[in-house]
Amino acid sequence: MKIKYSRLFIVISLVFSTLAAANPPTATDQSPSTNSVPNHDSAILSWTSINRILGKVSGGWLSGQSTLDQLSLANLLATDTHKPSSIGPSINTSTAVTPNINPLTGTAGSKMGINLSFINDWGGRDLTFIDVMKIARGFATVAVPWEPSKYPAPTDANGWPTTDFGIVFISNANDPLNRPLNTTFPSMFGTYKLSFTGQASVHGYNCCQVQNLLYNSVANTSTADIVVGPEDSTISLTFTNTQNGVQNLQLLRPGYPIGTTQVFTTEFLNAIAPFSTLRFMEPLSTNNSHGSVWNARKKKSDPTQNDQRGLAWEYVIDIANTTHKDIWINIPDQINLDEPKDNNYVIQLANLIKSSLHKGIHVYVEYSNETWNEVFSQTASNTASAVAEVNSGADNTLNYDNTNNQWYWSYRRSAHQTLKISRLFAEVFGPEAINTIIRPVYMSQYVQPFIIEDVLRYLNTNFGAPNTYLYGVGGAPYYSPQSSFTDESGLFSSLQAGLNLINPDAAPLPAYNGDVTWNGITYKNIANYYGLKTLMYEGGPDLTNNPNKALIEKTAATPEMAKLIKSQLTHFLSCGNDLFVYYKLTAPAGDVSPWGIYEDVALPTEKSKMFIDLAATPLADFNACN
């Protein structure tokens, strides 16, 4: 579809009050002489005034008493006119600014991200690693290989077992539709290549056939073929008759030979190709995190990456360097941000990223995840810390306005933690890297924009303009059914009603004036007011509260579901938002909501085809925001 473009004339009429005849008011335009902004994009016009009392813009903008005035303009159109006015005796000064309306460049994929899935045996449908030892559950006794937490096998200093053991590499959830795994997860089946240092008898535990087991006494290595057939629902092996256990165990997915230097599967790399940004909240085990000390973090050399401390940071960087995609990382909530540099978790992480991340890759940095959500332990710990800091006087800013509300203290503490993280990264990368290479973000509850309103006002009052240390704000626009349903038609009709409520153009966006207004969906205008980006860290259809799992599973991969998801993404792109990170890449059969684009990343779906097509669509095509 072709778009017509024209010149946009924004007329700024400045009217200033005269305090004394000897000191007449004056104004100096600070805006660039030439402005070029994309259609539906935003701009900030600014000027300096002297000897004026009050100026404001119709629609709610209020300049206050500062001498430098700014006007944030969102979703610019050729018909826009903005006229500040004043109170009191006045003179008139007019400045005309004429930005060009130009077509947006690039494709939608540049504003689309994806949440990656957990690194574990039961949810590892991303097929991230070629070596499934990286997602294995851990080393347990031979009798109960599925219980390494209760019955762990003893290990050496590097984490390898020192006795006989059993291990689960891949397990699967039940499917409400009882579909065979070779239909929903065909990548699981085939011939895996096993290798390890040492010698052992190897047997499948309720699965698999072990073939061609060979021992090389010169190299002290063993190899075998592990054949997984359609009747197998898990991949689990036992190792007996070992001589002090085994080391360097690998089990490579079908199609990858022993000795390959490739780390991440081709299937995984192809699946994430349409997206510009990868969010690692789940791979990093952010929710209910056990990570708190840098020297105790997960190591790249550990036998498995399936751990409550989350994926090793080196692998996060390796994925970014391999794909040259931006990354979105989550800082564990349990760390002490005030520790000295030598022990400071964020300082050490920033040093690692600076020394090893390829140039041109951006890093979105978020403190924990959903610290407003009582489902997760980080909410309780963050709230408790906020209360303790207020009561002890350790952080007097949290109750700066005497709100005396622990939930507001909690939201503000998360923002203050984000500010501290931003400053720590600035120590390593330099201040110029903040909001360029390093992009600190504050995320909140999408349907409660008053949290963002209060947090940004708190930051602005106590620490200065948020856009000097914060890149963007946003939420997670999930949508759920608005009425009961019993069939596919009713489900999609009810979901559409939910989507209509949360689309950014579903209701007018009133001009934002810096206060807590409770005025509905205002993320874009709030962000514009403070000169920030709007980012959606998650989003999509949410059916978690519906008991009809079979119906949900049946509709998850239909063209209608793909069309509904596309509608949401199109709305957000059209309304000028900066990044939408969909939740999520994969979800195994049995999940209670149709979130996953794939059940198996090697098996295309209606949703995956939609995402590929949408990502390739020119951004200039998205201009239908109301």
Q: pLDDT digits over 210-262, tens only?
A: 999 999 999 999 999 999 999 999 999 999 999 999 999 999 999 999 999 99
pLDDT confidence of 35, banded at 50, 70, 90?
Answer: very low
Task: Spell out the CATH class of 108-115+269-621.
Answer: alpha beta
Q: If we measure between CA atoms, which residue out of 139, 129, 202, 207 comes closest to residue 171?
A: 207
pLDDT above 80: residue 78: no
> Could you check whether 10-102 and 108-115+269-621 share the same CATH topology?
no
Quote the pLDDT of residue 447: 86
pLDDT above 90: residue 434: yes
Residue 507 three-state SS:
coil
Please enumerate in sequence order all residues whose Cβ is within 8 A of that of 561, keeping only pairs 6 or more positions apart, or say none. 492, 541, 555, 594, 606, 607
pLDDT confidence of 521, banded at 50, 70, 90?
Answer: low
Please enumerate in sequence order all residues whose Cβ is within 8 A of that of 391, keeping only pairs 6 or more positions apart, or say none. none
Mean pLDDT in residue range 12-25: 33
Quote the pLDDT of residue 224: 98
The answer to whether 114 touches 585, Cβ cutoff 8 Å, is yes
Quote the pLDDT of residue 520: 55
Please enumerate in sequence order all residues whose Cβ is within 8 A of that of 283, keeping only pairs 6 or more positions apart, or say none. 116, 117, 118, 119, 128, 310, 311, 316
- Tokens read off for 219: 């190299």
Pairing of strands 112-115, 579-582: parallel
Residue where the block lists tokens 């400071």 = 344
Residue 472 three-state SS:
strand
Question: For residues 41-58, b (16+ Cβ closer than 10 Å) or e, as one string?
Answer: bbbebebebeebeebbbe
Question: For residues 291-313, b (16+ Cβ closer than 10 Å) or e, as one string?
Answer: beebeebbeeeebbbbbebbbbb
Quote the pLDDT of residue 4: 29
What CATH fold (topology level) applies to the domain 10-102?
A: Immunoglobulin-like (2.60.40)
Element (H, E) at 440: strand 438-443
pLDDT above 80: residue 604: yes
The answer to whether 611 touches 573, Cβ cutoff 8 Å, is no
Q: By mean pLDDT, which of 470-474, 485-489, 542-546, 591-595 is the weakest? A: 591-595
Percentage of residues of the chain with pLDDT beyond 70: 81
Query: Rounded mean pLDDT of the chain?
Result: 85
Quote the pLDDT of residue 87: 31
The domains of the chain are located at 10-102, 108-115+269-621, 132-262
Phi (first) and psi of residue 567, to 5 degrees = -60, -45
The tally of CA atoms less than 13 A away on the side-chain side of residue 256 is 22
Give pLDDT tens digits for 548-574: 888 988 899 899 999 999 999 999 999
How many helices (H) does the chain have, and how many strands (E)?
A: 12, 28
More confident site: 52 or 121: 121
pLDDT above 50: residue 534: yes
The answer to whether 562 touches 609, Cβ cutoff 8 Å, is yes
